[in-house]
Amino acid sequence: MSNRTINVDDRLYGYLLDVSLREPGVLARLRAETLKLPQAGMQISPEQGQFMALLVKLTGARSILEIGTFTGYSALAMALVLPAGGRLVACDVSDEWTALARRYWREAGVEGRIELRLAPALETMRALLGEGAGGSFDLVFIDADKGNYGAYYEVALELLRPGGLLLADNVLWDGRVADPANDEESTRAIRAFNAALHDDARIDLSLVPIGDGLTLARKR
């Protein structure tokens, strides 16, 4: 037993998946196809997808905004558990990656719940504000270019309703955030993002070491 978060080695990780993962076939097939891409590391882990789907159910979220869709795994995991009438707005700039996403959303029968907007996410987020969607989203998932995390966060807070949940991915950045020798731009951006949230009285906060680190912030 330990008073700190357990170190999950490969054997324990395999056990965790064995006793808890309930990945629908369509998600498993999308994950397998994405693994063939050179950018496969950008895909979230399956247990994280399941965790996020559970969060959607726990919060009763009906309106979700995703910043950074890639090949659509996280969007599909969340869309699959949206209630009737629920919608997910997916932001990405890649037609190629999201074409793969759309194929699996169609196969899963959730394409009608997902509205894909191909544009820089900040443009889409500001457009949503202009459309009167401020304060309307139940959940926002940020998983795009790290240099813009701070900017995404600020607009996301405007788009979230009070009590809404913000999720931010890769906040542990493969451990690089805690490596003083690492001075990469992306690492510095995530450090700044994490520090800003720590001090931000507008949110309740928890950093969950699942996947590459997932921050949960509830808008007060």
Binding site for Ca ion (CB under 5 A): 143, 169-170
Q: Where are the alpha helices (DSSP H) in the chain?
A: 10-20, 25-34, 46-59, 73-79, 95-108, 121-130, 149-159, 185-198
Nearest in space to 40 (alpha carbons), one of 67, 73, 80, 13: 73
Closest approach of Cβ 44 to Ca ion, in Å?
A: 6
DSSP letter for 45, please: P
By the 8 A CB rule, do 135 and 50 touch? no
Closest approach of Cβ 43 to Ca ion, in Å?
A: 8
- 43/124 with CB nearer Ca ion: 43
Question: Which residue minimizes CB distance to Ca ion?
Answer: 169
- 13/15 with CB nearer Ca ion: 13
Closest approach of Cβ 5 to Ca ion, in Å?
A: 19
Indicate the SS3 state at residue 70: coil
At 183, the amino acid letter reads D
Closest approach of Cβ 72 to Ca ion, in Å?
A: 13
- 66/169 with CB nearer Ca ion: 169
Closest approach of Cβ 211 to Ca ion, in Å?
A: 7
- 47/62 with CB nearer Ca ion: 47
Within 13 A of 194's CA, how many CA atoms are on the CB side? 20
Helix%, strand%, coil% for the chain, nearest 5: 50, 20, 30
**Rounded CA separation 28/167 (Å):** 22
- 93/129 with CB nearer Ca ion: 93
